[in-house]
Amino acid sequence: MNILDKIVTDKRKEVDLRKSLIPVSQLEKSVLFDYPTVSLTDKLRHSETGIIAEHKRRSPSKSVINQDLNVQDVARGYEAAGVCGMSVLTDAKYFGGGLDDLLVARAAVDIPLLRKEFIIDEYQIFEARAHGADVILLIAAILDKKKIKRFSERAQSLGLEVLLEVHNEEELHYSIMPSLDLLGVNNRNLKTFAVSLETSKKLSALIPDDFVKISESGISRVEAIQQLQPYGYQGFLIGETFMRTQNPGKAAGEFIDRMVI
Ligand SMILES: O=P(O)(O)OC[C@@H](O)[C@@H](O)c1c[nH]c2ccccc12
């Protein structure tokens, strides 16, 4: 079993348990459920930098990245740095995150928040909405076309935007549909952890212009972004490069400063 299969197997059990504890009807009653959402798409279309900064304590590929920070500080730091949005890992077992992190970030900042999660069930979309997300991630590698359609339509009906993540041409072919807002190319292969910016370059021409394109993972230098921009990328998802430092907000701010010189 590859790591992605393992994550999905565990996620199935986790979601079934969560569902039995908190029904959708209860999530719908949460204060945040009807709270207005902010558009990441709009922010990226009007930005010259397009940085989406991630909160990630650890990962299966890198083990511990940074366990010592508090989410509120990180979120405020990212917002002050001028990022377009923040991605919050909510998976506990493999990434050390949780839905509480999303709630704390929501209380701290107004920038668009992405729930970074392995979504395999519509229930998780209701959870995302109830915990202050503006955008959800759908990973093509773990979903089929029918699910992508059902989940993305559900998300949009709840006022959320949808970022679809792909890693290869085949995934792109079956998953492009009008109910998506943002198309992300993951430079990291989630099954092998191999990282290559070439993935973003190769797939860019196959993504229709109506979607905002995001390049995800393995970005550590401004030069990488300058290489990707001519391929039409308007968003850049960066985690480790910022989270490895003691002050991710400061690192993001310095990175952005270097971009606009
Ligand atoms: O830390 P990096 O290499 O900058 O990567 C961030 C982000 O792209 C990565 O965490 C990610 C992209 N897609 C995912 C799907 C699930 C979990 C994590 C991810």
Q: 147-190 pLDDT, tens per residue?
A: 999 999 999 999 999 999 999 999 999 999 999 999 999 999 98
Catalytically annotated residue among 165, 175, 187, 200: 165
Indicate whether residue 15 lines ligand 1 (CB < 6 A): no
CATH code of residue 64: 3.20.20.70
Number of domains in the chain: 1
CA 50 – CA 118 distance, rounded (Å): 23
Active site residue 165: yes
Catalytically annotated residue among 127, 171, 216, 240: 216
Using the mean position of ligand 1's atoms as its centre, give its distance from the Cα of residue 178 in Å.
Answer: 24
Q: What is the largest CA-CA distance in the chain?
A: 52
Q: Which pLDDT value is given to residue 260?
A: 84
Whole-number percent of the chain with pLDDT over 90: 97
Phi and psi at residue 18, to the nearest 5°: -55, -45
Catalytically annotated residue among 11, 43, 56, 213: 56
Q: 58-106 pLDDT, tens per residue?
A: 999 999 999 999 999 999 999 999 999 999 999 999 999 999 999 999 9
Active site residue 198: no
Indicate whether residue 40 lines ligand 1 (CB < 6 A): no
11 lies in which domain range? 3-260
Look at residue 191 and tell me whether its pLDDT is greater than 90: no
Q: Please state the atom number of ligand 1 nearest to the C-alpha of residue 218.
A: 3
Q: Please state the atom number of ligand 1 nearest to the C-alpha of residue 165.
A: 13
Q: Which pLDDT value is given to residue 192?
A: 87
Look at residue 238 and tell me whether its pLDDT is greater than 80: yes
Whole-number percent of the chain with pLDDT over 70: 100
Q: Which pLDDT value is given to residue 1?
A: 84
Q: How far is CA 106 from CA 86, 167, 194, 251, in A?
A: 10, 29, 32, 21
Higher-confidence residue of 251 and 189: namely 251
Q: Which pLDDT value is given to residue 10?
A: 98
Using the mean position of ligand 1's atoms as its centre, give its distance from the Cα of residue 136 in Å.
Answer: 14
| Per-residue tokens: 74 | 């990180």
Query: Long-range contacts for 11-19 (Cβ within 8 Å, ≥24 apart)?
Result: 11/91, 11/118, 11/120, 12/120, 12/121, 14/93, 15/120, 15/121, 15/123, 15/124, 18/123, 18/127, 19/121, 19/123
Using the mean position of ligand 1's atoms as its centre, give its distance from the Cα of residue 82 in Å.
Answer: 20
